[in-house]
Amino acid sequence: MREELIRVEHVSKYFAGVKALDDVSFSINRGEIRGLVGENGSGKSTMIKIIAGVYEPDRGDIYINGKHYKRLTPIASIQEGIQVIYQDFSLFPNLTVAENIGINRVISKGGRVVNWKEVYESAKEGLSRVGTDISLDAITGKLPAADRQIIAIARALLEDARLIIMDEPTTALTQREIQYLFKTIKDLKKQGISILFVSHKLNEVKEISDSVLIFRDGKKVLDQEAEELDIKTMEYYMTGRRIDTSSIAYSEPEEAPPLLKVKNLNLNPYFSGISFELKPKEVLGITGLLGSGRTELALSLFGELPAESGEIWLEGKEIFIRRNQDAIKEGIAYVPEDRINEGLFLEQPISDNLIVTIADYLASKLGIISNQAKLKTAEEWVDRLEIKTPSVENPVSSLSGGNQQRVVLAKWLASNPKLLILNGPTVGVDVGSKTAIHELIRDLAKQGMGIILISDDIPELIQTCNRILLMRNGKIAEEFQREKVNEEELHRHLVAAKS
Amino acid sequence: MKVNQNMAEQKRDKIFSRGFKFNIEDRVLLLSVVLIVLVIFFGVTKERFLTVNTIRSMAFQCPEIGLMGLGMAIAMIVNGINLSINDTANLSALVAGLSLIELAPLFVGYEFLLVIIAFLIAIGMGIACGALNGLLIGHIGVPPILATLASLTLYRGISVAVTGGKTLTGFPEELSVIGYQTVLGVPIPFIIFLVVGVLMYVVLEHTTFGFKVRMLGTNPTAAKFSGIDNKSITMKVYILSGILGAIAGIIVMSRTNSVAYEYGTRAYILQALLISVLGGISPGFGSIIGVLLATFTLQVISTGFNMLLLGVRGSSFFKDFSWGIIFIVILIIDHLMHRRRGIG
A positions 359-388 inside 8 Å of B (CB)? 359-360, 363, 366-369, 371, 388
* Cβ atoms B213, B233 nearer than 8 A: yes
**Is A478 found in the same domain as A332?**
yes
Is there a contact between A393 and B6 if contact means CB atoms under 8 Å apart? no
- The candidate with the shortest Cα–Cα distance to A32, out of A221, A185, A257, A240, is A185
Into how many domains does chain A fold? 2
Mean pLDDT, to the nearest integer, of B97-119?
88
Residue B202: inside a domain: yes
Mutant choice from A39, A54, A217 vs B, greatest count of B C-beta within 10 A: A217
Mutant choice from B3, B12, B77 vs A, greatest count of A C-beta within 10 A: B12
Does pLDDT of B10 surpass 70?
Answer: no
- Which helix (H) or strand (E) segment holds residue A353: the answer is helix A350-355
**Is A280 found in the same domain as A166?**
no
Residue B18: inside a domain: no
B9 contact A CB<8A: yes
Find residue A267's DSSP bridge partners: A271
Single-letter amino acid, residue A249? A
CA A153 to chain centroid: 19
In this prediction, residue B197 carries a pLDDT of 97
Is there a contact between A41 and B8 if contact means CB atoms under 8 Å apart? yes
Into how many domains does chain B fold? 1
Does pLDDT of B128 surpass 80?
Answer: yes
Which residues in chain A have their CB less than 8 angstroms from residue B223's CB? 345, 356
Tens of pLDDT along A93-138? 888 888 888 877 777 666 677 778 888 888 888 888 887 778 888 8
Residue B3: inside a domain: no
**Is A132 found in the same domain as A50?**
yes
* Cβ atoms A118, A197 nearer than 8 A: no
* Cβ atoms A420, A333 nearer than 8 A: yes
Burial A240-256 (b: 16+ CB within 10 A, else e): beeeeeeeeebbebeee
A positions 392-451 inside 8 Å of B (CB)? 393-395, 397-400, 411
Tens of pLDDT along A136-158? 888 888 887 778 888 888 888 88
A positions 299-328 inside 8 Å of B (CB)? 304, 324-325, 328
Is there a contact between A398 and B8 if contact means CB atoms under 8 Å apart? no
Query: Higher confidence at residue B125 or residue B263?
Result: B125
Q: What ranges make up the beta strands (E) of A203-348? A: 211-216, 219-225, 260-267, 271-278, 283-288, 309-314, 317-319, 332-335
Tens of pLDDT along B257-297? 889 888 887 788 989 999 999 898 989 998 899 999 999 99
Cα-only R_g, chain A: 24
Residue B71: inside a domain: yes
Residue A254: inside a domain: no
Find residue A16's DSSP bridge partners: none
**Is A232 found in the same domain as A278?**
no
- The ipTM of this complex is 0.82
In this prediction, residue A242 carries a pLDDT of 58
Output phi, psi for B6, to 5 deg. Answer: -60, -40
Residue A252: inside a domain: no
**Side-chain half-sphere of A278: how many Cα atoms within 13 Å?**
27
Q: What is the span of the domain harbouring residue A95?
A: 4-239
B57 contact A CB<8A: no
Q: Using DSSP bridges, classify how beta strands A18-29 and A163-167 pair: parallel, antiparallel or unpaired.
A: unpaired
**Is A235 found in the same domain as A89?**
yes
Tens of pLDDT along A446-497? 888 999 999 988 888 888 898 999 998 889 988 988 878 877 788 778 776 5
CATH number at residue B126: 1.10.3470
Q: Which of B12, B208, B226 is nearest residue A398 as measured by Cβ atoms?
A: B12
**Is A409 found in the same domain as A358?**
yes
Q: What is the span of the domain harbouring residue B141?
A: 35-42+50-308+315-343
**Is A146 found in the same domain as A290?**
no
**Is A56 found in the same domain as A161?**
yes
Is there a contact between B17 and A356 if contact means CB atoms under 8 Å apart? no
**Is A289 found in the same domain as A176?**
no
Residue A253: inside a domain: no
Is there a contact between A398 and B17 if contact means CB atoms under 8 Å apart? yes
Question: How far away is chain B from the Cα of A480, in angstroms, using its nearest Cα?
Answer: 30
- Which helix (H) or strand (E) segment holds residue A196: the answer is strand A194-199
**Is A153 found in the same domain as A59?**
yes
In this prediction, residue A251 carries a pLDDT of 63
Residue A251: inside a domain: no
CA A86 to chain centroid: 13
Residue A392: inside a domain: yes
Residue B4: inside a domain: no
pLDDT, one tens digit for every residue, chain A (499 residues): 468 899 999 999 887 666 788 899 999 999 999 999 987 668 888 899 999 988 889 999 999 988 899 888 888 888 889 999 887 778 888 888 888 888 777 776 666 777 788 888 888 888 888 877 788 888 888 887 778 888 888 888 888 889 999 988 887 777 777 888 898 899 889 989 999 999 878 888 999 999 999 998 888 998 989 888 888 888 888 877 655 555 455 666 667 788 999 999 999 889 999 999 998 888 999 998 877 889 999 999 999 999 999 999 999 899 999 999 999 999 999 999 888 889 999 999 999 999 999 988 888 888 899 888 999 999 999 999 888 888 899 999 888 778 889 999 999 999 999 999 999 888 777 777 888 888 889 889 888 899 999 998 888 888 889 899 999 888 998 898 887 887 778 877 877 654 4
CATH number at residue A206: 3.40.50.300
Q: Which of A217, A324, A369 is nearest residue B8 as measured by Cβ atoms?
A: A217
Residue A248: inside a domain: no
Average pLDDT, chain A: 86
- The candidate with the shortest Cα–Cα distance to A349, out of A324, A379, A328, is A379
Is there a contact between B207 and A367 if contact means CB atoms under 8 Å apart? yes
Residue B30: inside a domain: no
- The candidate with the shortest Cα–Cα distance to A15, out of B25, B3, B22, B13, is B13
Task: Give the chain B residue nearest A334 (alpha carbons).
Answer: B225
A positions 248-277 inside 8 Å of B (CB)? none
Mean pLDDT, to the nearest integer, of B219-231?
94
**Is A265 found in the same domain as A228?**
no
Residue B7: inside a domain: no
B98 band by pLDDT with thresholds 50, 70 and 90? very high
* Cβ atoms A126, A180 nearer than 8 A: no
In this prediction, residue A136 carries a pLDDT of 86
**Is A312 found in the same domain as A278?**
yes
